[in-house]
Chain A
């Protein structure tokens, strides 16, 4: 084939330019460390890398979320532990007070200590996090949730708490409301409450009672009336007698699936009531105990009954806080397990991203060498061939 002189030059030039372009591309891959620089290099690969980067960024955010939640819930856990310790000490004070040999002034001393503890408990319930937000305010976290007025404590926080996202498909409560921790505690034994009649003259007291057959329990207000120190009858709110019997101390009285124990000597006409349980707060349990212990008008039976009731209530408050604490612990566990999942997921994601977008240095360097050799050969052959011309030999 006939080759024109310009054609030869142009072809050689085009080949060298193509090699230059290849070398520039390989060099840029090596210097940036990226083989995937533009979507045009590998459109589906780029889409995949973007998607993986989104997942990575989201995963990092979930770890951050978990850290914020862990900080708050650790503070909550501390507050709950303090509350439990406080209530346990209140419990032992109540046990101390439940001693018939104590004088009323000794009881009032105990009441004064309990009064202190009530204030401390309100303080704990109004704990704040590092940003000054109230731990137990729920949604209403910027206002103090618990207010004390005399011996009564009220809750003005919200009934719902923030959710925190700790993984792509897991949102957990970032705290607990003051209502669920301190306020909505089942009163009495959870099913019913017991009380001694305010005009009782005997020394008999009643315990908190228990449920023996939940199916037979008919929620209603019952009166246990002693017609004589050894005879009792139980009437419901319609004044119908549901049980009656002979009493000797301590005696168990059973009716409608529940039983209560009365101890001591009732006077004829003394009454005890059994009513469906509502809810009580940890604060009201303490404050009613303070009122009981400060009272000078209660007889021994009424005193014992009320202290027994308070003990039961404080026990319920401790159980409730324990439950909350267990749930906080479970949530902290969930956070730490999702964080370790997130971290290993992040490692996997980074590996995948790197496989798709990072340059294989060994391959790229080898390729650069090959391209260099080709370019050198092209340049040398061009330089020597372009010198050849018949005109050189014309003289």
Chain B
């Protein structure tokens, strides 16, 4: 019945509900994910009377939340980008800080080692200077190892954060699926379950911190969630679970996989992008792994140059020098899924061809194929892979024993484990080989003007200790005879051009006469003041020994610093840019969905007044009714 009283009561009830909504808005002014709600009023159905429709008051048609799906998606995508770059920047900055420590950088420590070699050269028989050199070698080793272990720790930290992130993503996925179910059940009433929707949006927002998220709304109100490059995480009320699986090559390395039916897993590591998870994976592939490999290459460089030169020299006891450094071997990691019985033996053979990349060696069923795992490019190999004729590629020698199965593959990491095994092997300062392994003398009856300007063993592996005579058959032709008078080398003489034989090199300058001789013999312990091998070592360490003879150890150390610096700088710049983008997306969303207290205060006033007016109407209806009653009573009494 449409009448004054019921119309006013409908107003009272409606405005009470509107005031409730306002108080809900005010109460949730600081609630994350809360979308401002509005009480939507509509005119109640009227009643036809003879002379027209009489209004039936007011109805609350719905309470809706202010929400824009597009703005929400912008917030999520910028959040995922920001988290990704910020995580990368945080990880990279750790390595950057480590490498940039001023005055104690790797280049400085390397130069200290070279300076210590110079100091030994100044006073080759001084034990104190030799001891100082060993200390500097120790300091160099410790610095490289501290880099390596800090990178390994950062790597372990990244792995554990990946596990944590995966757990968080799984929790959020379950929550979202549950909310989907509840929302679908409650949407049937025709009213939107605002609180559940807000909660689901907040969960999806949170998910976007961990990984890039895309959403697709279902007709029943459920929201399907896809992560990374389109991997389904939540479909309706069904949440897929993510898990971490050990890398088939390296069990300490975690991959990310989707758990399928029956517990099977599908690796989606390469599909993951954005969010903390994307940032952590990027930190591994862009900073941690390359830095560890680069530090390893420097360790290999130092060890092989110094060791080679040590073995080309004579120590204070008169013995041939021994290796100063030990260094970790090449890591050869078989795929856990290999079915064949092949085993690889991989050694480093050529420092200048060695790279800091990782390689994958795969058996195709008929042949072995080597791929640079870092660049993805095929690498040509020479040799047949037997131990007599090993494969040669990228500065490595690879020999295969056993029978491989088709599809078997191996990850070869030439430098990753090198630094961990770096250690100074010499304990006695007398073992530093400052002197050359050989000594030379001009024949006493020489009549020419030629003199020895440099002599030394250049390849200790092929050096055959013994007495040799370089004999000139004419001023331009020489032959080198061993102690049995057999010719081991001969050639045309040019002043200043080294004469090489059996791993040794002798450089003469001047003009010899026919019949002149020079003898080359093992050095004697008496020549403890010989420092020529120290200079050979200094030259070898300062030379461009890496990257095909284009990069010195010091440049390699410096390149590492600037490469990590560039990645960090870019990640920081991107993080800062994405933070701004995210901030403005959040602002845009909150301008639609956020609570404005002034607005609520105005609403409060408005609804309060309306409520008061309705109450007044009820009072008025009472007055009207009273008037009628009074009139009737008066009429009766009159």
Contact = CB atoms under 8 A, between A and B. Distances in A.
Contacts of B110: 54
A389 B530 CA distance: 88
A43 B564 CA distance: 8
Interface in A154-171: 156, 158-160, 162-165, 171
Given A34-B102, A158-B530, A57 B597 contact: no
B529 interface: yes
B100 A38 contact: yes
Contacts of A390: 597-598, 601-602
Interface stretch (A61-69, A117-125, A333-341): A61-69
B225 interface: no
A365 interface: no
A360 interface: no
Given A43-B569, A69-B122, A391 B100 contact: no
Interface stretch (A4-12, A188-196, A208-216, A371-379): A4-12
B596 A4 contact: yes
Contacts of A165: 118, 121, 535, 538
Contacts of B532: 160, 162-163
A131 interface: yes
B586 A391 contact: no
Q: Is the interface of B mostly helix, strand, loop or mixed?
A: helix
Given A40-B569, A64-B119, A6 B602 contact: no
Interface stretch (A137-145, A257-265, A309-317): A137-145
Contacts of B441: 159
A53 B115 CA distance: 13
A46 B591 contact: no
Interface string A169-195: 001001000000000000000000000
Contact of A137 (B529, B564, B605): B529
Contacts of B123: 68, 131, 133
A2 B530 contact: no
B277 to A, nearest CB: 23
B634 interface: no
A71 to B, nearest CB: 10
Given A5-B596, A39-B561, A43-B562, A140 B115 contact: no
A62 B535 CA distance: 13
B590 A7 contact: yes
Interface in A31-71: 34, 37-44, 46-47, 50-51, 53-54, 57-58, 60-62, 64-65, 68-69
A14 B583 contact: yes
Most buried by A among B538, B590, B595, B601: B590
Contact of B528 (A3, A57, A141, A156): A141
Contacts of A131: 123, 125-126
A305 B289 CA distance: 84
B535 A46 contact: no
Contacts of B36: 4
Contacts of A160: 439-440, 452, 530, 532
Interface residues of B, number: 72
B531 A5 contact: no
Contacts of B29: 5-6
Contacts of B554: 51, 54
B69 interface: no
Interface stretch (B91-99, B328-336, B365-373): B91-99
A133 B526 CA distance: 12
Most buried by B among A34, A131, A390: A390
Contacts of B92: 40
Nearest to A279: B444
B107 interface: yes
Contacts of B435: 139
Nearest to A14: B583
B141 interface: no
A259 B568 CA distance: 84
Interface in B69-115: 92-93, 96-97, 99-100, 102-103, 105, 107-108, 110-112, 114-115
A38 B118 contact: no
A61 B530 CA distance: 20
A20 to B, nearest CB: 14
B221 interface: no
B108 A7 contact: no
A185 to B, nearest CB: 15
Interface string B515-532: 000000000001111111
Nearest to B106: A50
B144 to A, nearest CB: 16
Contacts of A34: 102
B96 A38 contact: yes
A363 interface: no
Contacts of A141: 125, 528-529
A38 to B, nearest CB: 4
B586 A5 contact: no
A394 interface: yes
B606 to A, nearest CB: 12
Interface in B207-222: none
Contact of A40 (B93, B440, B442, B526): B93
A1 interface: yes
A69 B137 CA distance: 25
Interface in B569-598: 569, 572, 583, 586-587, 590-598
A139 B604 contact: no
A52 B591 CA distance: 54
Nearest to A157: B526
Contacts of A46: 100, 561-562, 565
Nearest to B108: A53
Nearest to A50: B107
B124 A162 contact: yes
Contacts of A43: 561-563, 565-566, 569
Interface string A219-253: 00000000000000000000000000000000000
Contacts of B529: 133, 137-142, 158, 162
A11 B587 contact: yes
B485 interface: no
A389 B597 CA distance: 7
Given A1-B591, A14-B583, A162 B530 contact: yes
A137 B102 CA distance: 44
Contacts of B100: 37-40, 46
Most buried by B among A38, A62, A160, A165: A38
Most buried by B among A39, A60, A131: A39
Nearest to B568: A40
A4 B591 contact: yes
A57 B115 contact: yes
A343 B286 CA distance: 42
B125 A39 contact: no
Nearest to A55: B111
A143 B528 CA distance: 9
Contacts of B105: 50, 53
A163 B531 contact: yes
A230 B416 CA distance: 94
7 contacts: A10-B590, A43-B562, A57-B111, A65-B118, A160-B530, A162-B530, A390-B598
Interface of B: 29-30, 36, 92-93, 96-97, 99-100, 102-103, 105, 107-108, 110-112, 114-115, 118-119, 121-126, 435, 439-442, 452, 526-532, 535, 538, 554, 557-559, 561-566, 568-569, 572, 583, 586-587, 590-599, 601-602, 604-605
Interface of A: 1-7, 10-11, 14, 34, 37-44, 46-47, 50-51, 53-54, 57-58, 60-62, 64-65, 68-69, 131, 133, 137-143, 156, 158-160, 162-165, 171, 174, 357, 389-391, 394
Top 5 nearest A-B pairs by Cβ distance?
Answer: A4-B594, A39-B565, A141-B529, A43-B565, A390-B601
Given A38-B565, A162-B532, A165-B535, 15 more contacts: A7-B587, A39-B562, A40-B93, A43-B563, A46-B100, A47-B562, A51-B558, A54-B107, A54-B554, A65-B118, A141-B528, A141-B529, A164-B121, A389-B597, A391-B601
